[in-house]
C-alpha cells in the first residue's frame, strides 16, 4: 500500500507522465551519469582498487559492464566457450588476474594474502574464467581449487556450518555474501557439482539467519566473534542483496536450474526483502545514510549506487520489483551529481573503516558502473 502510493506520487509528480506508463518507458528519459563521467569513474576504479575484495569486485564489474554476455547476467553464459570470441576477450579482467597470479605464491591456500577469509574468494570467478578459456592458464584452475578447499575445509566455521568472514575467529559480515557464495556457485556450475551448488545457497541462508534484523528486515553488519557492528550498514545490505542475485543467476544458468527452483525463489525473495527494508530509509534527495536507521550517520553514495544496481537487476528478474524502480532512478540521479570533475564518487564511507566518512572508495567507483550495467540490461530486456 505504502509503496503503491509512493510510486504513484513519484511517477506522477516527477515526470508529469500519465500513470500507467510502463516503468521502462519512464526510465528512457531519466537523468544519470554522462558517458564522460562514467569513463572517468572507470579510470579511477582502475587506479584505486588495491585490496582483495576491491580487485575482485573490479573484475566482476568489468564482466557486467564490458563483457555482459560472459557475466552470469548474460544469456546462457555457463559454461563459457573454451576459446572466447575476440569481442569477449575480457582484457581488463585478465589484466587483474594476471597480476593476482604473479603475486600469489604457487602453494598459497588463497588467491590473495589476507586477514579476511572471505574477501580473496571475490577474485574466484575471474580466475575460473581464465582457467576455462585459456589453455595456457591451467595454474589458474589449481589456484581456484585451492581457494575453494580453503573455504570448505580450513576457514573457521560456526556450529551450524556458516563459513566465517575472518581467518582468526568465527565472525559474520554481511559483505561476505558477495565475496564467497557467488564463487562457490560458479565453481559448482562449471563442474556440474550439485552438492557444491547447494552449499552456495546454504551459506546465504545461514548468513541471513544470523544477520537479518526481524524488526526492519534489513541486515546487521557484523555479528559473532569478539566484537560486533550491529548497525544496519547500508553497503552491507547491498553486498548481501547483490550476492544473492549473482548466485541466483549462476543457478539459473546451470544445468540444475529446474531442480533448484525453490532455492532460486528464496534468493529472489530474500533480495527483494532487503530492498523493501531499505526503501523507507532513502533520504529525500535519493541518498542513503551510512547506517540505514541512524539519522546521525553521514550521507553515503556508494551504498546508494549499489541499491540502484540491485533494483535494476531484480526488476529484470521479477516484474514485481518494478515497484522499486522509481527509488533506483532517484538514487541514480543523486549519483550523477555526486561525481567529482575528475571522476571520484563523492560522499563515501571509508572502505577501510566502515564507521568513517572517506575520500575515495574503489568499491563505490565499481558500484556506479554496476548500476549502469544493470540499468542498461534492464532496458535491453
Ligand X SMILES: *[C@@H]1O[C@H](CO)[C@@H](O)[C@H](O)[C@H]1NC(C)=O
Shortest distance (Å) from residue 62 CB to ligand X: 11
Dihedral angle over CA of 359, 360, 366, 370, nearest 10: 10
Binding site for ligand X (CB under 6 A): 82, 86-87, 89, 91, 128, 131-132, 134-136, 141, 144-145, 152, 190, 193, 195-196, 283, 285, 287, 299, 334, 337-338
C-alpha cell read off for 220: 546487521
Q: Between 55 and 299, whose beta carbon lies closer to ligand X? A: 299
- Residue 127 and residue 146 in contact, taking contact as beta carbons nearer than 8 Å: no
Nearest CB to ligand X, comparing residues 193 and 202: 193
CA atoms within 13 A on the CB side of 182: 31
Nearer to ligand X, 85 or 319 (CB): 85
Min dist CB 189 to ligand X, Å, is 10
Q: How far is the CB of 32 from ligand X (least distance, A)?
A: 15
- Whichever of 29 and 195 has its CB closer to ligand X, that residue is 195
Closest approach, Cβ 66 to ligand X, in A, equals: 7
Closest CA to 118 of 168, 191, 61: 168
- 256 vs 252: CA distance, rounded Å: 8
Smaller CB separation from ligand X, 242 or 335: 335
Are 121 and 111 spatial neighbours (Cβ–Cβ below 8 Å)? yes
Q: Minimum distance between the CB of residue 228 and ligand X, rounded to whole angstroms?
A: 26
Are 5 and 325 in contact by the 8 Å Cβ rule? The answer is no
Nearer to ligand X, 156 or 298 (CB): 298
> Cα dist. 381→310, 332, 367, 374 in Å?
16, 19, 21, 11
* Cβ contact 132:93 at 8 Å: no
The least CB distance from residue 14 to ligand X, in Å, is: 16
Amino acid at each position: 500500500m505504502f509503496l503503491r502510493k509512493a510510486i504513484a506520487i513519484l511517477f506522477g509528480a516527477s515526470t508529469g507522465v500519465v500513470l500507467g506508463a510502463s516503468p521502462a518507458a519512464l526510465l528512457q528519459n531519466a537523468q544519470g551519469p554522462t558517458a564522460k563521467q562514467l569513463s572517468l569513474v572507470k579510470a579511477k576504479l582502475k587506479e584505486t582498487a588495491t585490496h582483495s575484495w576491491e580487485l575482485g569486485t573490479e573484475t566482476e564489474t568489468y564482466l557486467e559492464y564490458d563483457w555482459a554476455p560472459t557475466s552470469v547476467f548474460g544469456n546462457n553464459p555457463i559454461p563459457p566457450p573454451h576459446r572466447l570470441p575476440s569481442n569477449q576477450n575480457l582484457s581488463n579482467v585478465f589484466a587483474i588476474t594476471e597480476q593476482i597470479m604473479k603475486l600469489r605464491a604457487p602453494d598459497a591456500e588463497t588467491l590473495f594474502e589476507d586477514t579476511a577469509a572471505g574477501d580473496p574468494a571475490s577474485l574466484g570467478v575471474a580466475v575460473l574464467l581464465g582457467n576455462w578459456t585459456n589453455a595456457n592458464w591451467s595454474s589458474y584452475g589449481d589456484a581456484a581449487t585451492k581457494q575453494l578447499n580453503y573455504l570448505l575445509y580450513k576457514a573457521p566455521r560456526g556450529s551450524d556450518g556458516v563459513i566465517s568472514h575472518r581467518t582468526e575467529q568465527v565472525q559474520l559480515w554481511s559483505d561476505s555474501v558477495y565475496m564467497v557464495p557467488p564463487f562457490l556457485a560458479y565453481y559448482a556450475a562449471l563442474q556440474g557439482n550439485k552438492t557444491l551448488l547447494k552449499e552456495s545457497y546454504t551459506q546465504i541462508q545461514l548468513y541471513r539467519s544470523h544477520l537479518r534484523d526481524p524488526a526492519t528486515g534489513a541486515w546487521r553488519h557484523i555479528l559473532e566473534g569478539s566484537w560486533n557492528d550491529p548497525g544496519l550498514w547500508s553497503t552491507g545490505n547491498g553486498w548481501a542483496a547483490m550476492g544473492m542475485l549473482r548466485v541466483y543467476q549462476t543457478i539459473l544458468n546451470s544445468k540444475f536450474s529446474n531442480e533448484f527452483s525453490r532455492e532460486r525463489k528464496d534468493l529472489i525473495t530474500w533480495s527483494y526483502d532487503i530492498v523493501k527494508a531499505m526503501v523507507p530509509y532513502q533520504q529525500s534527495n535519493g541518498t542513503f545514510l551510512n547506517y540505514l536507521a541512524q539519522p546521525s550517520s553521514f550521507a553515503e553514495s556508494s551504498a546508494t549506487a549499489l541499491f540502484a544496481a540491485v533494483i535494476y537487476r531484480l526488476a529484470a528478474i521479477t516484474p514485481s520489483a518494478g515497484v522499486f524502480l522509481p527509488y533506483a532512478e532517484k538514487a541514480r540521479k543523486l549519483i550523477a551529481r555526486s561525481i567529482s570533475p575528475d571522476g571520484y564518487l563523492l560522499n563515501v564511507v571509508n572502505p577501510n573503516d566502515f564507521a568513517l566518512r572517506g575520500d575515495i572508495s574503489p568499491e563505490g567507483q565499481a558500484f556506479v558502473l554496476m548500476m549502469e550495467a544493470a540499468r542498461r540490461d534492464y532496458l535491453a530486456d
